[in-house]
């Protein structure tokens, strides 16, 4: 298959309130991020084609996800399924013009002469790898793998609450809590998205991450690398910067030493005053004593 167009996959990051993260958004650490990958099938070679497998005289086991009445033909029923991004299969009952749509892959069929079952594969998409980095180089470079082989990496741990979710055959998402690297709030996220054309959806599975098995490489799928950069808001970093920039709340070395020096100076001045007072008092007492002795001698 030919390479994908650069705009075949749209990589969108959203906050908990469903707002889109852009270059000017600062993400709070207590928020939640949704990583959403949307495929434009018109940009995928052969991407709009669907593979249909017919099983005459059979119907799906289990009830349908959607039941439509008065659908004129089997072709109409199949067309409805192709336009529904969740549809994986249909059962058509020609006599009653029933069209049953299934939003899951059907693995079990039961014999029924009234029905015709159609498996409809219009392609699929998954994310095979995702890595976050701080955008630095050399000794300052930090990175962390988020997705490996379509499963959360061991390093991510509880940051990612759930595995990848394939919402439709054109969309896959995963959610995780924000994080930040040491001393750097900018995070660059690069992911590899695998897009499978109609009939090859089995090559783009969302695996059971508790028992991961590698799938063989298909010739009918293409990979596309997509990248986004986000900025994380660290509350502690913010409050520190705020206090440093506020003259009323900032504390410097001069703010501490100036009162101490002033206090010492006052103490020295008070001691000098006390010494002077004591000397004056002592001198006056000495003069008074001399005068008293003079009077006594004169009296004798």
Of 68, 87, 121, the position where a domain reaches its end is 121
DSSP state at residue 20: B
Q: pLDDT band for position 293 (50/70/90)?
A: low
**Could you count the other beta carbons within 10 Å of the beta carbon of residue 255?**
9
Within a domain: 268: yes
**27, pLDDT greater than 50:** yes
Number of domains the chain contains: 3
98-122 pLDDT tens trace: 999 999 999 999 999 999 999 999 8
Q: Are 142 and 40 part of one and the same domain?
A: yes
Q: pLDDT band for position 23 (50/70/90)?
A: confident
Q: Are 141 and 198 part of one and the same domain?
A: yes
How far does Cα 143 stand from its chain's mean position? 15
Q: Are 135 and 227 part of one and the same domain?
A: yes
Alpha helices in the chain (DSSP H): 74-83, 235-244, 253-299
Where b means 16+ CB within 10 Å and e means fewer, 96-123 reads ebbbbbbeeebeebeeeeebbbbbbbbb
**278, pLDDT greater than 60:** yes
238-271 pLDDT tens trace: 433 333 333 333 323 233 334 444 567 777 888 8
Where do we find the tokens 């054309």? 197
**pLDDT given at position 22:** 87
Report which listed range, 143-152, 161-170, 276-285, is most confident.
143-152
HEC assignment per residue over 266-287: HHHHHHHHHHHHHHHHHHHHHH
Q: Among 81-90, 115-124, 271-280, which is the least confidently predicted range? A: 271-280
**4, pLDDT greater than 50:** yes
Q: Are 26 and 59 part of one and the same domain?
A: no
**Could you count the other beta carbons within 10 Å of the beta carbon of residue 277?**
10
Within a domain: 253: no
Within a domain: 254: no
**pLDDT given at position 24:** 85
Within a domain: 223: yes
Backbone phi, then psi, for 8, in 5-degree steps? -70, -30
The whole domain housing 224 covers 9-45+125-241
Instruction: Return the higher-pLDDT residue of 51 and 272.
Output: 51
**pLDDT given at position 253:** 29
**pLDDT given at position 5:** 72
Distance in angstroms (rounded) separating the CA atoms of residues 77 and 75: 5
Q: What CATH number is attached to the domain comprising 28?
A: 2.60.40.4100
Count Cα atoms within 13 angstroms, Cβ side, for 41. Answer: 19
52-73 pLDDT tens trace: 999 999 999 999 999 999 999 9
Where b means 16+ CB within 10 Å and e means fewer, 161-189 reads eeebebebbbbbbbbbebebbeeebebeb
Q: Are 221 and 85 part of one and the same domain?
A: no
Of 69, 103, 121, the position where a domain reaches its end is 121
Residue 226 CB partners (closer than 8 Å, separation 6+): 9, 11, 37, 190, 191, 193
Q: Are 91 and 227 part of one and the same domain?
A: no
Q: Are 237 and 191 part of one and the same domain?
A: yes
Within a domain: 251: no
Within a domain: 247: no
Q: Are 69 and 24 part of one and the same domain?
A: no
DSSP state at residue 232: E
177-195 pLDDT tens trace: 998 888 678 889 999 999 8
Q: Are 227 and 150 part of one and the same domain?
A: yes
**175, pLDDT greater than 80:** yes
Within a domain: 18: yes
Of 75, 99, 121, the position where a domain reaches its end is 121
Q: Are 37 and 85 part of one and the same domain?
A: no
Within a domain: 24: yes
Q: Are 19 and 144 part of one and the same domain?
A: yes
**Could you count the other beta carbons within 10 Å of the beta carbon of residue 156?**
20
Q: Are 35 and 115 part of one and the same domain?
A: no
**pLDDT given at position 97:** 96
């Amino acid at each position: 298959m030919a390479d994908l167009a650069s705009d075949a996959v749209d990589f969108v990051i959203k906050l908990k309130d469903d707002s889109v993260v852009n270059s000017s958004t600062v993400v709070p650490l207590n928020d939640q991020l949704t990583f959403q990958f949307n495929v434009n099938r018109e940009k995928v070679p052969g991407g709009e084609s669907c593979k249909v497998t017919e099983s005459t005289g059979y119907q799906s086991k289990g009830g349908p996800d959607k039941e439509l009445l008065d659908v004129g033909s089997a072709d109409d029923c199949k067309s409805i399924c192709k336009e529904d991004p969740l549809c994986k299969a249909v059962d058509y009952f020609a006599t009653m013009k029933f069209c049953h749509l299934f939003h899951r892959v059907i693995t079990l069929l039961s014999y029924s002469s009234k029905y015709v079952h159609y498996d409809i594969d219009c392609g699929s998409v998954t994310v095979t790898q995702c890595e976050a980095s701080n955008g630095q180089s050399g000794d300052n470079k930090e990175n962390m793998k988020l997705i490996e082989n379509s499963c959360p990496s061991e390093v991510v741990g509880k940051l990612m609450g759930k595995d990848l979710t394939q919402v439709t055959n054109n969309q896959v998402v995963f959610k995780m809590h924000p994080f930040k690297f040491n001393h750097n709030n900018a995070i660059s996220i690069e992911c590899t998205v695998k897009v499978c054309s109609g009939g090859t959806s089995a090559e783009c599975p969302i695996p059971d991450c508790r028992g991961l098995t590698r799938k063989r490489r298909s010739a009918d799928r293409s990979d596309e690398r997509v990248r986004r950069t986000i900025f994380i808001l660290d509350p502690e970093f913010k409050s520190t910067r705020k206090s440093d920039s506020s003259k009323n709340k900032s504390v410097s070395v001069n703010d501490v030493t100036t009162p101490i020096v002033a206090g010492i100076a006052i103490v020295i001045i008070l001691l000098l005053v006390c010494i002077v007072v004591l000397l004056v008092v002592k001198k006056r007492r000495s003069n008074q004593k001399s005068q008293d002795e003079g009077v006594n001698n004169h009296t004798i």
